Amino acid sequence: MSNGLTMLSDASKMFLFLAAELSLLFLVISLGVNLLRQKIPDSKIQAMLGARKGRGYVIAALLGAITPFCSCSTIPMLRGLLSARAGFGPTLTFLFVSPLLNPIIVGLMWATFGLKITLLYIVIATVVSVLSSLILSQFGFERYVINEKRKGISSPVGCSAPITKLQVASCCNSNTTPVRINIQSIKTGSSCCVSTRSEVSTASTPGAMKQAWQEAWKQFKEVFPYLLAGVLIGAFIYGFVPTEWIASHAGSNNAFAVPLSAIIGIPLYIRAEAVIPLASVLMTKGMGTGAVMALIIGSAGASLTEVILLKSMFRMPMIIAFLTVILGMAVMMGYLTQLLF
């Protein structure tokens, strides 16, 4: 009985900590993204992260690798990229890479597992992310992005919503005047107007911070139920699934240890920075290195909290595709580690 109460207490503390941490992270990152979107026109984001010639994929992978985001704090940046209509493939690359690669994770991985396994981890995370994004983009998975107007993923800068000729007069807000009408965009249904003052930063206006905060708060209220549900489930699974159970079911004597570890990792919310030290403990209890690698990618790349948050932006086929990519990446990394090391 006392053991059960201890686990319940630990799970409750984890829930409160994660709920507070992720709420704060979401608000801060959303505020930063909204301020950047006031400063950087959507057209520049689209040019940098477009899918043409593959440059956008490289930039997205590099951006993901340098941003110290966990799987959940990646969401505000993802919403910003979707609102700015960056290339769908590069946006997915950022989604896959961001929680798995950053200098802290790479440094911890190197110190814990050595240079060779770290290099394999970097290559697998980058290559699988880019190739999967290319494939999903080619198969038209962009159609599974939930309509922005219905979900309220708004664009605080300019007027990037598709329009008709009848909507031209009311399209552009005060942030983009004086303007010139982009006739080609009327034909294609893309951005309605282009500011003749596109180089002027609206982030310096007195109401810029207030506008960015209002947008961040609006976005937070929209995702808060999803965030709370994910944290609640993840924290209690974390509290009631001891490391001894994981190590015993994903030990080196289990032929299915790698895929099992990848699946076990998803319900847990563990940052890659935190799961790497945990991995050392699991290895001392008999868990194989390949299974540990699968657990790291599964838990850091696709936590249950992130999946629930993604439900506010993507329809189910895209969610399934996302999970398939992360699980495939985790299993590939696990088996290659077993084979090579």
113-162: per-residue pLDDT in tens?
A: 899 999 999 999 999 999 999 999 999 999 999 875 444 444 444 444 44
Residues 85 and 7 in one domain: yes
Task: Give the Cα separation of 104 and 54 in Å (integer).
Answer: 27
Over 70: is that where the pLDDT of 62 sits? yes
Over 50: is that where the pLDDT of 187 sits? no
Better-predicted residue by pLDDT, 59 or 206? 59
Over 50: is that where the pLDDT of 184 sits? no
Q: Is the dihedral of CA 103, 302, 316, 11 positive or negative?
A: negative
Residues 108 and 47 in one domain: yes
Residues 212 and 186 in one domain: no
The pLDDT value given to residue 40? 80
Range with the lowest mean pLDDT among 5-9, 246-250, 318-322?
Answer: 246-250
Residues 7 and 50 in one domain: yes
Residues 40 and 174 in one domain: no
The residue range of the domain holding 318 is 2-156+206-340
Count of structural domains, the chain = 2
Q: What is the mean pLDDT of residues 280-298?
A: 83
Residues 171 and 240 in one domain: no
Task: Find the radius of gyration of the CA atoms of the chain.
Answer: 22
- Residue 319 to residues 152, 267, 323, 336, Cα–Cα distance (Å): 19, 15, 6, 26
Q: What is the mean pLDDT of residues 297-315?
A: 86
Listing DSSP states for 302-322 in one string gives S-HHHHHHHTTTB-HHHHHHH
The pLDDT value given to residue 201? 44
Contact between 65 and 97 under an 8 Å Cβ cutoff? The reply is yes
Task: Give the Cα separation of 211 and 202 in Å (integer).
Answer: 11
Residues 241 and 323 in one domain: yes
Average pLDDT, the chain: 76
pLDDT digits (tens, 9 = 90+) for 22-55: 788 778 877 887 787 788 887 888 888 876 768 8
The pLDDT value given to residue 238? 63
Residues 6+ apart with CB under 8 A from 178: 195, 196, 197
Better-predicted residue by pLDDT, 315 or 17? 315
Omega cis (within 30) before 41: no
Q: What is the mean pLDDT of residues 197-205?
A: 44
Residues 70 and 180 in one domain: no
Range with the lowest mean pLDDT among 80-84, 226-230, 295-299?
Answer: 226-230
Ranges 35-39, 171-175, 228-232, 311-315, most confident: 311-315
Q: Which of 233, 243, 230, 239 is nearest to 11 (CA)?
A: 239
Q: What is the mean pLDDT of residues 303-324?
A: 90
The pLDDT value given to residue 239? 63
Percent of the chain at pLDDT above 70? 71
Q: Which of 228, 340, 250 is nearest to 296 (CA)?
A: 250
Q: What is the mean pLDDT of residues 62-74?
A: 81
Task: Give the Cα separation of 299 and 100 in Å (integer).
Answer: 10
Task: Give the Cα separation of 191 and 42 in Å (integer).
Answer: 9
Residues 166 and 225 in one domain: no
Residues 91 and 186 in one domain: no
| Residue 88 neighbours by CB distance under 10 Å | 21
Residues 187 and 330 in one domain: no
Residues 138 and 163 in one domain: no
Better-predicted residue by pLDDT, 322 or 307? 322
Over 70: is that where the pLDDT of 167 sits? no
- Residue 193 to residues 72, 142, 177, 198, Cα–Cα distance (Å): 33, 24, 10, 11
Q: What is the mean pLDDT of residues 246-257?
A: 72
